[in-house]
Amino acid sequence: MAKLKILNPQDLLDQAQLIHTSEAVQLAISRIGKEVTLQLEETRPIVICVMGGGIVFAGQLLTQLTFPLELDYVHASRYQNNTVGNALIWQSLPKLDLSNRTVLLVDDILDEGITLLAIKEKCLALGAKEVYSAVLVEKKLSHPKPIKADFVGLDVPNLYVFGCGMDSYGWWRNLPAIYALS
């Protein structure tokens, strides 16, 4: 599928449907921070941000975690600024040694689950003792997914959503609320 060029990103936003307000997003991030702390504060985990969509959520979640942790990132994508996923492309693997460590993957969305599962399996193959995942949103689908996130902020309908790190044709990752394409 060819990348659709959006000449006016503002039109995209103006025609979008608000799914979750910025206040709802902040409450969800705060709740996830508490849940992660209860589960992982004694493990000194490696938190791995899934780039690029996970960066907004990871940045906000990290400020909620008041225990020692190390930070790394991974970049694997199926979307490449499109609205339909393709083959997984690995752009960067974690740099830290994951051997016998607890890992927390932080991503923007659990959609089909293919990318998150592949990243989890890669971390385990790199020696991680256990791998947890936190996602800001989970898309509700009518079929089962190959992975379940351990920490989920909000549910979204089966629409193409953007904001809070998720993009629409490369635009609007910076929005504090979550929208759906019309």
The predicted-structure confidence for 81-133, as pLDDT tens digits, reads as follows 555 556 788 899 999 999 999 999 999 999 999 999 999 999 999 999 999 99
Please compute the mean of the pLDDT values over residues 151-176 and round it to a whole number. Answer: 95
Structure tokens at 14: 């103006």
Structure tokens at 148: 């379940």
CA distance 27 to 153: 9
CA distance 167 to 178: 10
**Calculated CA dihedral for residues 111, 115, 117, 123, nearest 10 degrees:** -140
Largest Cα–Cα separation, the chain? 49
Strand order of the sheet with strand 17-20?
A: 17-20, 178-180, 161-162
Please compute the mean of the pLDDT values over residues 172-180 and round it to a whole number. Answer: 97
- Write out the CATH class of domain 21-156: alpha beta
Least reliable range by pLDDT among 3-7, 60-64, 68-72, 175-179: 3-7
Please compute the mean of the pLDDT values over residues 37-47 and round it to a whole number. Answer: 98
SS (H, E, C) 77-101: ECCCCCCCCCCCEEEECCCCCCCCC
What's the pLDDT at 156?
98
What's the pLDDT at 82?
53
Cβ atoms of 23 and 139 closer than 8 Å: no
Cβ atoms of 106 and 61 closer than 8 Å: yes
What's the pLDDT at 182?
83
What's the pLDDT at 169?
87
What's the pLDDT at 1?
41
SS (H, E, C) 52-73: CCHHHHHHHHHCCCCCCCEEEE
Which single residue is written with the structure tokens 């609205």? 83
Tell me what the pLDDT averaged over the chain comes to. Answer: 92
% of residues, the chain, pLDDT over 90:
83
What's the pLDDT at 89?
85
